[in-house]
A and B are shown apart, each in its own frame.
Chain A
Amino acid sequence: MMGRVAEMLRALGARIVDSWIWRVGFATRFFWLILKESGTSFRRFHLTIREIYFAGVMSLIIILVSGLFVGMVLALQGYDTLVRYGSSEALGVLVALSLVRELGPVVAGLLFASRAGSAITAEIGLMKATEQLSAMEMMAVDPMARVVAPRFWAGVISMPLLAALFSAMGVFGAYLVGVRLIGVDEGSFWSQMQAAVDFREDILNGFIKSLVFGVAVSWIAVFEGYDAPPTAEGVSGATTRTVVTSSLAILALDFVMTALMFRGA
C-alpha cells in the first residue's frame, strides 16, 4: 500500500519536474536569449514592422468590432443599474473606467492571444517542422535574431496599441447606445468622463497592463512555437497551449496588477 502511494507521489513529482519546472526554466532562458538577440529587430526595423503588420494590423478587425460590442453592452448594463440610483449621467465614467482599467487590456489581450499568438506559434512551429529554422542556422543566420525576436517585439509593440483602440471603440460604442439610443445627456456623458478619468492613475496603469500582457502573450507564443515537436500533432498541441497558457497568464497577471495598482485611494 505504502509502496503504491510512494510510487504515485514519485510519478507526480516526475511529471511536475519534467513537464513543468523544466519548461519554465527553459522558457526563462529562452526569454534572455530573445533579449540578447534583439539588436537585429531594431537595427533592421523593417523585419519587426512586417511582423507588426501580421500580428497587429491583421488583428484590427476583431479588436475593433469586439471593442464596439463590449462598449455597447457596457452602456446597456451600466445604464440599467445607474438609472436606479438616478445617476445615469455617470455612464460615461463607468464605461471609460471599466474599459481603460480592465476590459481594454484584458479582453484585447485575450483576443490577441487567440488571433495573433496562435498564429505566431503555428508559424514558428511549422518553420521548425519543415526544417526552415535548421536551414537558416546552416546559412549562418540565427533564427532567434531573424525569426523569433522580431515576432516577439512586434507583439509587445502591437498589444498596447490594440488595447487603446479597443478602449476607444468601446467608448464610442457606449456613446452610440447610451447617448444616441437611450438618450443620456451628451454633455454630462463626456464631461464627467473627462473629469473622472485620471491620466496617471487610469490610463497609464491600463497601458502598463497591456504592455505586460503583450510581453506575456508574445513570449509564450514564440516559446511554444520554438519548442513544438516537429510534427502535425506537436504544432497543433503547441498552438492550443499558447491560447490556454496566455489566457490564464493574462487573467492571473491582471489580478496581481489590479491589486497593486488600484487600492481605492
Chain B
Amino acid sequence: MTTDNLVEVEDVAFAYDQRQILKHIDLVVPRGKMVAIMGLSGCGKTTLLRMIGGALRPSEGEIRVAGRVVHRLGHDELFALRRKMGMLFQFGALFTDLTAFDNVAFQMREHTDLSEPLIRDMALIKLQAVGLRGAADLMPSELSGGMARRVALARTIALDPMLIMYDEPFAGLDPISLGVIGQLIRRLNDALGATSIIVTHDVAEALDLVDYVYYMSAGKIEFHGTPEQVRSSKHPSLRQFVYGEPDGPVPFHYPAPGYRQDLLAQ
C-alpha cells in the first residue's frame, strides 16, 4: 500500500503500569513535510515519538512507517527500518567517549563498508552543514549546549534518513542557538527531501517552522491544523498554551486540599 503519508498513527493507545498515557491518537505525517507535536510536559508526546521509532509498543492501534506496522517488525526488520530514521534526543545524547567527528562517523562505520577516507569526507560534510567542521576534534564535554545539539543533529542526518524525529530540539538553548537550530532543521529537511516530526513545547519557534501542528493534552490530541489555524484557534487550552497564560483550563495549582484548611490543620 503506498500513500503520501510516511507515518500513520491509527487509534493508538498506550498504558504503562495501568496508567493510561495515550488515548485514541490519530495522526499522519505526509512525506516531505514537517509536523510538530506540541503539548505540555508530560502529555505523552515523547512516548508517541518513541513508539514511532519502535522503542515502545502501543497497547492498542497501530503505527505505520513507510507502510509497515512498526510493532510487528522483527528485530532485524526494525533495525533495517531504523537505519532510515534519525532521532535527535532532547539533550543530544552524544557519545561522551568519542569526539564530535567520531560521533558523526559512528553510524557510517557501523552500517557501511565505506573506506576511512570516504567516511572522513562524509562526516566533515555533515559537520560543515551544521557549521562545526572546525570543532571536529573536540570532545562532547568541550562543546557548549548549542554546539552539542548541532553535532547531534549532524549525527542524526549522517546516513541521510527519510524520517527525522526531534525530541525537544530547542530545550535549554540560548536565543541565538535556538534560532540556528530551528533554521538548520528546516533547511536540512528540505535539502535532504526528508520528513520531520518535531516534539516540542516551544510554541513560537515551532509555529514559524513547521507545516502542520498536532496539539496534545493529557494523552489525547485536542487540536490539529496549520500554524495559522493554531494561532487563530479559540480552543481554550490551546490558547492558554500558545499565549503562555499562567492560569486557564490548565490550572496553575497542583491538586491539593483547601489552602485555609491546610494552613490551619495544626
| Residue of A136, A137, A140 touching B83 (CB-CB under 8 A) | A140
Which B residues are CB-close (under 8 A) to A134? 55, 89, 93
Q: Please, how many angstroms separate the alpha-carbon atoms of A96 and B208 in the complex?
A: 75
Q: How many residues of B contact A (CB 8 A)?
A: 19
Q: A130-B96, A140-B79, A140-B80 are in contact. Are A135 and B89 (CB under 8 A)?
A: yes
Which residue in chain B gives the minimum CB-CB distance to A123? B97
Which B residues are CB-close (under 8 A) to A126? 96
Nearest Cβ distance between residue A103 and chain B, in whole angstroms? 34
| Residue of A127, A130, A141 touching B110 (CB-CB under 8 A) | A141
Residue interface mask A103-131, B partner, CB < 8 A = 1: 00000000000000000000000110011
CB contacts under 8 Å to A, within B35-82, are 53, 55, 79-80, 82
A132 close to chain B: CB less than 8 A: yes
A-B contact count (CB 8 A): 47
A139 close to chain B: CB less than 8 A: yes
A138 close to chain B: CB less than 8 A: yes
Which B residues are CB-close (under 8 A) to A135? 87, 89, 93, 95
Which residue in chain B gives the minimum CB-CB distance to A131? B93
B107 close to chain A: CB less than 8 A: yes
Which A residues are CB-close (under 8 A) to B95? 127, 132, 135-136
Q: Are B80 and A131 in contact (CB under 8 A)?
A: no
Q: A138-B85, A140-B111 are in contact. Are A130 and B79 (CB under 8 A)?
A: no
Q: Are A141 and B107 in contact (CB under 8 A)?
A: yes
B223 close to chain A: CB less than 8 A: no
Q: Are B55 and A137 in contact (CB under 8 A)?
A: yes
Which residue in chain A gives the minimum CB-CB distance to B78? A140
Q: Are A131 and B111 in contact (CB under 8 A)?
A: no
Q: Are A140 and B89 in contact (CB under 8 A)?
A: no
Residue interface mask B99-140, A partner, CB < 8 A = 1: 000000011001100000000000000000000000000000
Q: Please, how many angstroms separate the alpha-carbon atoms of A134 and B90 in the complex?
A: 12
Nearest Cβ distance between residue B209 and chain A, in whole angstroms? 22
Q: Are B111 and A138 in contact (CB under 8 A)?
A: no
Residue interface mask A134-165, B partner, CB < 8 A = 1: 11111111100010000000000000000000
**A-to-B contact residues, CB < 8 Å:** 126-127, 130-132, 134-142, 146
Extra inter-chain contacts (17) besides given A130-B91, A135-B95, A142-B79, CB under 8 Å: A127-B95, A130-B96, A131-B91, A131-B93, A132-B93, A132-B94, A132-B95, A134-B93, A135-B89, A135-B93, A137-B55, A138-B53, A139-B110, A140-B80, A140-B107, A141-B110, A146-B110
